Structure formats: C-alpha cells, structure tokens
Structure 1
Amino acid sequence: MADGSRRRAYIGSFTTAGGHGIRTADVDPDSGALTALDVHEGLPDPSYLALSGDLLYAVSEAPDGAVAAYRADGDRLEPAGPPVPVGAGPTHLSLHSGHVLTADYGSGSVTAVPLRADGTLADRASGVLRHRGSGPDPERQQEPHAHQVQPDPGGRWFLTVDLGTDSVRVCTLRDGVPRLHRETRLPAGSGPRHLAFHPGGDRVYVLNELTPTVAVCRWDAVSGALEPVSETPVLPEPPTGDAYPSGIAVSPDGRFVWTATRGQDLLSVLAVEGGGLRPVAAVACGGVWPRAITLAQGRLYVANERSGDVTWFVPDPETGVPLRGGSLRVPAASCVVLG
C-alpha cells in the first residue's frame, strides 16, 4: 500500500511483446477500478509478481532468468538491489520460509533465493531442485517445465506444478535447498499449470492446460500427501480451436472456483459441491488471451495479454458469475497483484 488510505495494484507485462515493464495503478476503494500511475522499466519480461509489505518481487521470464526486488516509494517502484540469477524462463514465484522460490519453466527447476532481514534478496541462490521426466505431448512435454511453486497454507510444504511431467511435487526447504518429498502423477497429457488450495485446507484444485480440466485432489498437510480424486472440464462444451487454461482462484468462503482459458477467452465458474466441482457458467473474459486471474477484495482481475488490458469483475455472491466492471489499458499484461 502506497500510503495509509489508498491501495495499489502492480501489473506485470511482457516487454518483448510491447509491454512497458511493471505498471503501478491506483485501486478505487469502492469500485475496485484501476487508474494508471507510474511504470517501472528495466527488467525484461517481468511476467509474475509477489508482494510482501512494501517489497515487490518479480521474475524476469527470459532465457537467462532472474528475480528482482523493488521497494514501493509512493507511486513509484525503486530497485532494492540487483537482480539475482535463477533458472531459465521463470514463470512464477512465491515467498516461503525466508526465501523467494521461483518456478523455472525453461530449465524445469525450482530455485531458492534467501531473503535478508530487511526483505531484500541475497546475492545468489541457495539451492536448486531439478525436475525429471516427460509427458506424451511431443511439442509441450519433451522435458520438465515447472510452471508454479506454491506454499501450502500451513507453511510446512511447498508444491511445484510441472506441465512437462504431468505431476505435482510436494517439497520441503532445508538449509536453503529445495528437496523432493513426494511426487503425485496426474493423467498423462493433462499438462498441469497452476493450483489453488481450498480455504478449508484439505483440498487442492489443479488446473490442467493441455486438457482443459481441473483435478480435485485431497491434501494431507500432516504427511504432505496429495491424492487426485476427480476431474472436471472447465468449458461448457468441447472446444474448437485453442483452449489453454491459465489461471485459477478460489472464493474465500470456499463455494466457487474460477478459471481462465486462453483461446476461448472465457472465465469459467465452478461450484464446490461435496468433494467435487460442478460447472455453473462461462463468461467472456473482457479481452483476448487471459494469462492470469487474481481475486482481491471481492473482485476478479484478469490480465489479458494479447488485447493488452486488465479487466475487473464483481462475482455474484449467490451464483459466482462474474459481472464486468471495467478495464485498464496495459500492453502485454501478464499478472496483477494488489497491496
């Protein structure tokens, strides 16, 4: 938050596709509407962001990948030290046990970078976990492709989602080194991309990119065991043309799951019923190629990469169906976080 009264949004973008870097925007406290403020240039392809207090962390999704930290100074971002090298093509990052963890898509690895006491990055990574394996898709799954790294709600474990190996790995961080605890296989060719925890802490929803589905899994936080139990299509009917799910979010009350699908340019609503999911509706995402969705303050923010905008929606509290509120022009938008 830039001051004591106004919220800020930070929007990543692909500079190699016309993006300007990391955009700062004001968030209207009543409507959730975004108003563009400053933009920070200099980091190539800051495609995913994570926020902790007044520090913003960003991956540079480049062949020679890196992670960088910035301090919010009013409406501006100021570098909090130089970028730190990680694996190739990092697509996601999260904070866990005094470290920044990055999911390195290109090198199929997870990298841990320690945080100093003031939250800035150490000079170098402390450890790397390299995934192994492949999948049946000859174009997308010839090798591992770590796409997300997500701590569990209890903070003991973190989960890495690998599109290339059709698996989710449960891991620990010991002495700054990511270590494999166990690996859970999903159906061959599913291409898992991102996951989200149910607020009850006993279920995980894994969004599959190559077969537009959500896998519902049981989660045991004591033993660190993930068990697939069912799979639900995210689209109302079999797609024609491209259909690549990208982002997933769960309502704080645990009643709804939302997903975004590129190519079809849809937001899907699934109701949580018992241990499974029931498709409810699908609505236009407000742009083209929705790369990521964020749920904050009762609103869904969608980063539409190819139309170059961030669109916000208000989900109906009874049905979960999103109602469009407005949009902000952001070329090659890739993700949104709110402070």
Structure 2
Amino acid sequence: MATTRRTFLGLTGAAAAAAAGITPAFARDSATLYIGTYTSAGGTGIGLASYDATSGAITATGVLTGVQEPSFLIADPSARFLYAVNEQTDGGVTAVAVDAPGKLRVLNRQSTGGSAPCHLALVADGKYLVSANYGSGDVAVHPVNADGSLAARTDLVKHVGAAPHAHQVVEDPTGQYILSVDLGTDTVYTYTIAAPGKLTETAQAKLETGAGPRHLAFHPNGRYAYVANELDSTVVPCEYADGRLTPGTPLPTAPANSPQNYPGEVIVSADGNFVYVSNRGHNSIAVFAISADGATLTRTATPSTGGDWPRHCAIDPTGTLLLVSNQRSNSITTFHRNQQTGTLTPAGSFTTPSPVCTLV
C-alpha cells in the first residue's frame, strides 16, 4: 500500500442484501467476529475471533491468509459470504465463502479499476457489490454471481471535482439510491443503479469547504442521516428524502482544546436513540443523544477508547456491546452499552495486529 495522506494518518505511531436465489445455509452466529487489517502494517489477512457479549472478552480463533489489505469487510445477510476491499494501489475486492461460522474460503478477487478501495456495500437486493476507491476517487460496480463470487466490473464512475477521494458507499434505507461520500470534494454523491450494473448520478450534497466528509449513517426512520467529517472533526445531521441530503449545522465530535482530531466511523444504534463517532487523536468515542424525530444531536460523553487511533467501531447484534478497532495500539477494546442511556463502560481489551474494522 503506497504511503498517502490517509495511510500516513493510519500507520504512523505503530451489509445490505443477499445474492438473488441464495437460501441461507445457517443463521448468523453472533459470537463470531471477523477483523479487517492492514497486511502492510502487521496484519496477516482477515482475522477470526469469537466474543462473549456478556463479558466483552474476545478470543482469537485463526486468520484467513492470502487476502491483502482487507481494511473493510461486509457480510451478506445469508451469512454465507463475506466481501473485503483490497486497499492497494492496484485496488481490488475479494469474495469469501463462509463454509461455517469462522471457517472461510476465498472465492475470487476482481480489480476495482482504481486505487486504494476502502469501503464497499451490497446493493439492489444483493445483485451488485459497489466499492469506493479512495486513491483514484471513483466508484466501481461488480455483479454478484449466484455462488457468491464476483463477476467482472461493469462500471467505474469518477467523482466530479478537484482531488476526489471516495471514502464510503452506502445504500439508502429504501434501496432506491446509493450514496457515496467523498472526503476530497466535500460532497456526497447520489446514484441509482440499473442492469447491467451501471450507475447514474441523481444528486449532490455539498458539505462545508474543507470539512472532509468520511462516512454517513442513516437514522432508522430514513428521514435523517449523520455525516462524520474527518478534517474539521464534526458530525452533521442531515435531512434526507428521495436521494437528497440537506446538511444541517455541524457539531464538534471532541471537546474544546482537544488534540488534533480526525473522526473515523459513525454509527447509529438500532433503536435510533444514539449516534457514536470514533475520534482518532482524542482517542475517544463521542456519544450523541438523538432527538425523538432524529433531527438533532446532543453530545453527552466522550469516553476514552483505551487505545490509540480508533479507526472503526461497531455495535454487536445484541445491542449491548460496542467494539472499537484501535489501529495504532494493535487492540480491539470492548464496552458494555447501556441501551437506555447510551453510556459506555469499559469491558475488555484484545491484542491483534493492525485492526481497522470489526464485523459482528
């Protein structure tokens, strides 16, 4: 992986729909954990572990080697397949079969046609995998075959603007639109997709100049989304309707006089009551209470992650455990989550090389 602004920030100092026609082979095992890593920074592939939602303890169970730079992972809802980015100069996406929970097998890899893909999503009822190429600032489309493998790329759409850096792709709650968040152009682009896997841009939403939008997460009601801005350390509540975002007032994710801070991940609790943002630099999780209608956020706490450079965070299926990937300190920390108050209480810490994503 070439050293760029994003890899310098990360390395210094140390899923949406099932593929059509597939019947689930088994229920998703909520005790299985898959770990995305940088193989150029000590990782050896996709990490495998189990976890206890009650205690917060994580136990290593193995690794799937042979997958390079799998820095972001998703699963299809059937639990039979995983998909990983290969965040390399010659970017790719890898399809992985889950023969049983924690037992993985590489199906194939396809080129994204761009560089440093860092995010992906299944869209259109699992017919396509879309990926965001950070380095080249474009979005790639790959059809998903019936066996879970990936067909050849059918589209590659460049974001319009100076120095684009596509950082996320996400399907909206209606399944009608795909949103791509671009850190370089301070823009969220909206697309539709149609056979044979072609994207059509339908809208753009501009964030403040220099904000550096990184990721967004939707409220369960589908009428609001929350955009985490990496470069100005803010989160922005946005109204959403018919593929169009309307940004509101940015809110700081870290306290005043904090060290220079770069938000990493933004997630929303399943009940729509809380937003969590990982703060790289302040090394904390910003906890925001959401108003009843989803329109406003109020920051309530910024507890330490107990590690360095929390690139990613995720809530487990029980809703009671939050997992944080601390990239620079080579640790995943866990927190008990109070579902009524949103409060986080430290639960455990697990050492593993270069964790940058947890899939639970």
Q: TM-score normalised by the shorter chain: which range applies?
A: over 0.9
Matched, 1:129 2:151: no
Equivalent pair of 2:90/2:111 in contact (CA under 8 Å): no
Map 1:14-53 to 2 at 5 A: 14-28=38-52, 30-52=54-76, 53=79
Map 1:55-66 to 2 at 5 A: 55-66=81-92
Matched, 1:317 2:339: yes
CA distance in 2, matches of 1:82, 1:185: 34
Q: Where in structure 1 are there 5+ consecutive unaligned residues?
A: 135-142
Please state how far the C-alpha of 1:319 moved relative to its aligned partner. 2.5
CA distance in 2, matches of 1:278, 1:7: 32
Letter in 1 for 2:173: P
TM-score normalised according to structure 2 size: 0.87
Please state how far the C-alpha of 1:154 moved relative to its aligned partner. 1.0
Please state how far the C-alpha of 1:307 moved relative to its aligned partner. 0.5
Tell me the equivalent position of 1:119: 148
Equivalent pair of 1:67/1:83 in contact (CA under 8 Å): yes
Matched, 1:234 2:261: no
**Gap change, CA 1:269 and 1:173, over 3 Å in 2:** same
Tell me the equivalent position of 2:136: 107
Map 1:90-239 to 2 at 5 A: 90-97=117-124, 98-122=127-151, 124-134=152-162, 143-175=163-195, 176-220=197-241, 223-239=242-258
**Offset from partner CA, 1:267-308 (integer Å, 9 cap, x none):** 111111252111101011121100111112212111111111
Letter in 2 for 1:133: G
- Three-state SS of the structure 2 residue aligned to 1:283 is coil
Q: Where in structure 2 are there 5+ consecutive unaligned residues?
A: 1-23
CA distance in 2, matches of 1:72, 1:318: 34
Letter in 1 for 2:331: D
Equivalent pair of 1:230/1:276 in contact (CA under 8 Å): no
For structure 1, which segment, 170-179 or 91-100, has the greater mean C-alpha deviation from structure 2 after superposition? 170-179
Equivalent pair of 2:110/2:153 in contact (CA under 8 Å): no
Please state how far the C-alpha of 1:2 moved relative to its aligned partner. 10
Please state how far the C-alpha of 1:108 moved relative to its aligned partner. 0.1
**Offset from partner CA, 1:79-125 (integer Å, 9 cap, x none):** 11244444210010110021111010001000000001222111x10
Of 83, 103, 107, the match for 1:76: 103
Letter in 2 for 1:239: S
Please state how far the C-alpha of 1:37 moved relative to its aligned partner. 0.6
Please state how far the C-alpha of 1:3 moved relative to its aligned partner. 6.6
- Three-state SS of the structure 2 residue aligned to 1:16 is helix
- Three-state SS of the structure 2 residue aligned to 1:324 is strand
Tell me the equivalent position of 1:261: 279
CA distance in 2, matches of 1:64, 1:150: 22
CA distance in 2, matches of 1:128, 1:279: 38
**Offset from partner CA, 1:20-70 (integer Å, 9 cap, x none):** 210111132543532111101112211000101221100000000000011
CA distance in 2, matches of 1:77, 1:231: 41
CA distance in 2, matches of 1:228, 1:33: 39
- Three-state SS of the structure 2 residue aligned to 1:196 is strand
Equivalent pair of 1:18/1:331 in contact (CA under 8 Å): yes
Equivalent pair of 1:84/1:121 in contact (CA under 8 Å): no
Equivalent pair of 2:336/2:344 in contact (CA under 8 Å): yes
**Gap change, CA 1:3 and 1:115, over 3 Å in 2:** closer
CA RMSD of aligned residues (A): 1.7
**Number of matched residues?**
326
CA distance in 1, matches of 2:55, 2:221: 28
- Three-state SS of the structure 2 residue aligned to 1:169 is strand
Map 1:282-321 to 2 at 5 A: 282-296=302-316, 297-298=318-319, 299-321=321-343
Percentage of pairs with the same residue: 40
Matched, 1:250 2:255: no
Equivalent pair of 2:112/2:131 in contact (CA under 8 Å): no
Tell me the equivalent position of 1:140: none
Tell me the equivalent position of 1:9: 33
Map 1:268-279 to 2 at 5 A: 268-273=286-291, 274=293, 275-279=295-299
Letter in 2 for 1:95: L
Equivalent pair of 1:10/1:22 in contact (CA under 8 Å): yes
CA distance in 1, matches of 2:63, 2:330: 15
Letter in 2 for 1:56: L
CA distance in 2, matches of 1:108, 1:88: 8
Of 114, 119, 123, the match for 1:87: 114
Letter in 1 for 2:344: P
CA distance in 2, matches of 1:317, 1:209: 27
